[in-house]
Amino acid sequence: MKTPDWVKHAVFYQIYPDRFARGAGMVHERGLRFQPWGADPAAQGYQGGDLYGVIDKLDYLKTLGVNALYLNPIFSSASNHRYHTFDYLQVDPLLGGNDALRALLEQAHHRGIKVILDGVFNHASRGFWAFHHILENGGDSPYVDWFMINDWPLRPYHSDETQPPNYEAWWNLPALPKFNIKNPGVRDYLLKVARFWLEFGIDGWRLDVPEEIDDVPFWQAFRRVVKEVNPQAYICGEIWGHAGDWLQGDRFDATMNYTFAWSAMSFIGAASLRRDYIKEHMPMTPLSVSEYRQVVERMLSWYSDEVNQAQLNLLDSHDTARALWIMGEDKPSLALCVLLQMTMPGAPCIYYGDEVGVSGADDPYCREAYPWHEPALQDHDLLATYQSLTRLRHAHPVLRLGDVSFVEADNPELLIFKRELGADKALVVVNRTRELQTVNLPAAEYQNYMQEWPATHSSGAIGNQRRLTLAPQQGVVLVLAPHLFDETLYSGLTKVAAEGNQVKGAG
């Protein structure tokens, strides 16, 4: 099993295109009407974000430490989320069309930023050209076997529990007819789509609900096509739990690591976790230090290091509530979760706006517009914390490629783990409690680790022990890098100011 090398060094940023940014250079046809930027996301309309808007913000993303983008679907569709695809070979004109994607790829690659797209291949939309052909021609359409029709005439606009669609549809939604993957024409078409955009210049695919395509030969063929075009292209599947069979080298490189997400928030945010948030595959219940260690050790044991280093480690996404909302608007807890993202194996993925404190409940409230229009809504202290932590990850290969092991210590309230890569080592200490915590570590092992302490920290020696003191809701990273002339520590993570409960970077 070999995964793309660049992913192991990536910090991803997930963008929901309609809600990220409007491009200064975007020219729409006359007579279009968009919702105001920042409108209530529950209205489900279009707010006018486009790919030129992403281009305009690339320099901002670079300052955030981002070097890879994951874009939610961008192909022509009649929904703002664009999971209802009606033309897989055309970027939605509302996003700028194929020219806008070409410009984005050129500008992103010029800055060293990779771009992966969302592939929705389990289902199309009722506006997809082949399904529309069936709607117009019934059983006489040559494409009738591209979908799974159960009865005639089709009911494409009405369904309920007593009268579901009379064709196979995702979650029985009539707008989302499922492809008949067994049909050779469908397979050829979807593989052509995968090849077309890779040859166009994208750097990989995130695959929507792949488990619903229960067809191993199809996914094996998909991987062959992808890797023939670009051996370093990334294939990441939306699988929310254990995905052992998918990550054996013949299908995907990695998955969206929701186990990382729910366990980090359940541990770090244990004191503020919303107990009313119920989400399938995300058991959001408070975890102790030992319980969190068990989850992480089990998660890492599922796969090889090669896979673990390429997993997409997210905290939230378009399919979940915002991490900040889940943890009861507790920004220090969010910052500590980001510390875990940046110091554990796997490629961190930031959901757009999290870095400035955007919050919201589950879909559609997690899909609001980025608050470019309201600077007062942007938490610049939190942004600085994100920036310091991405710098930390980029500065030290040990945090990207090193082995990971948990450290036993004399304070059970602290999470302590070590990363090791040859002679390079890093020690991460996390205090998620609301109290001052102290830990003693063997001086013989840790005395040479370089450190910079926030004002609320103290360090000292007691006999043969090195003592560390951490303020409430604070983390520290100690680094031993003998190959560097100037050994560097990025510490810090958060301290809570007396006024305003503001998060301040301490790195």
Domain boundaries, the chain: 15-122+180-398, 129-172, 402-505
| Structure letter (DSSP) for residue 166 | S
Over range 318-345, report the average pLDDT.
98
Instruction: Quote the pTM value.
Output: 0.94
Confidence of residue 49 (pLDDT cuts 50, 70, 90): very high
**How confident is the model at residue 456, as a pLDDT?**
42
Q: Which range, of 99-113, 281-295, 483-497, averages the lowest pLDDT?
A: 483-497
**How confident is the model at residue 465, as a pLDDT?**
83
Confidence of residue 272 (pLDDT cuts 50, 70, 90): very high
Q: Find how far residue 440's CA is from the centre of its chain.
A: 36
Over range 334-351, report the average pLDDT.
98
Query: Helices 97-110 and 184-200: crossing angle, nearest 10°?
Result: 50
**In the CATH hierarchy, which fold is given to the domain comprising 15-122+180-398?**
TIM Barrel (3.20.20)
Residue 507 has pLDDT above 80, yes or no: no
**How confident is the model at residue 483, as a pLDDT?**
54
Over range 329-335, report the average pLDDT.
98
Q: For the chain, first and last CA: distance in Å?
A: 36
CATH number, span 402-505: 2.60.40.1180
- SS3 label, residue 420: strand
**How confident is the model at residue 474, as a pLDDT?**
93
Tallying the residues shown for the chain, one arrives at 507
129 Cβ contact list (under 8 Å, min separation 6)? 86, 87
Q: Which two tokens stand for residue 434?
A: 């609301």
The CA distance from 11 to 369, in Å, is 22
Q: Which two tokens stand for residue 95?
A: 């996003």
* 188, 130 Cβ separation under 8 angstroms: no
Residue 485 has pLDDT above 90, yes or no: no
Confidence of residue 449 (pLDDT cuts 50, 70, 90): confident
What strands lie across the sheet with 114-119, from one edge to the other? 254-255, 234-237, 204-207, 114-119, 68-71, 12-15, 347-351, 312-314
**How confident is the model at residue 460, as a pLDDT?**
62
Closest CA to 107 of 143, 40, 56, 60: 56
Whether 208 sits among the annotated catalytic residues: the reply is yes
Q: Which two tokens stand for residue 103?
A: 């410009």
| More confident position, 447 or 301 | 301
Query: From the candidates 238, 253, 355, 379, which is the catalytic residue?
Result: 238
**How confident is the model at residue 405, as a pLDDT?**
98
Residue 270 has pLDDT above 50, yes or no: yes
The CA distance from 145 to 122, in Å, is 15
DSSP 82-147: --SEEEEEEE-GGGTHHHHHHHHHHHHHHTT-EEEEEE--SB--TTSHHHHHHHHHGGG-TTGGGB
Q: Which two tokens stand for residue 175?
A: 């707008």
Residue 282 has pLDDT above 60, yes or no: yes
**How confident is the model at residue 335, as a pLDDT?**
97
> Which DSSP helix (H) or strand (E) runs through 194?
helix 184-200
116 Cβ contact list (under 8 Å, min separation 6)? 68, 69, 70, 71, 202, 203, 204, 205, 206, 234, 236
485 pairs with which residues across the strands?
A: none
Query: From the candidates 18, 50, 203, 208, which is the catalytic residue?
Result: 208
**In the CATH hierarchy, which fold is given to the domain comprising 129-172?**
Oligo-1,6-glucosidase; domain 2 (3.90.400)
Whether 50 sits among the annotated catalytic residues: the reply is no
Over range 209-233, report the average pLDDT.
98
Residue 443 has pLDDT above 50, yes or no: yes
E runs forming strands in 422-493: 424-431, 437-442, 458-462, 465-470, 474-480
Residue 413 has pLDDT above 90, yes or no: yes
The CA distance from 70 to 13, in Å, is 6
**pLDDT, tens digit, 9 for 90 and up, residues 158-217:** 767 778 899 999 999 999 999 999 999 999 999 999 999 999 999 999 999 999 999 999
| Structure letter (DSSP) for residue 179 | B
Q: What percent of the chain has pLDDT over 90?
A: 87
**How confident is the model at residue 463, as a pLDDT?**
63
Q: Give the CA radius of gyration of the chain.
A: 24
Q: Which two tokens stand for residue 127?
A: 């506006």
| More confident position, 445 or 116 | 116
Q: Which two tokens stand for residue 257?
A: 């690591």
The CA distance from 265 to 335, in Å, is 11
Q: How many CB atoms lie within 10 A of CB 60?
A: 12
Over range 226-230, report the average pLDDT.
98
**How confident is the model at residue 250, as a pLDDT?**
97
| Structure letter (DSSP) for residue 28 | P
- SS3 label, residue 348: strand
What is the pLDDT of the chain when averaged over all its residues?
A: 92
Q: How many CB atoms lie within 10 A of CB 450?
A: 14
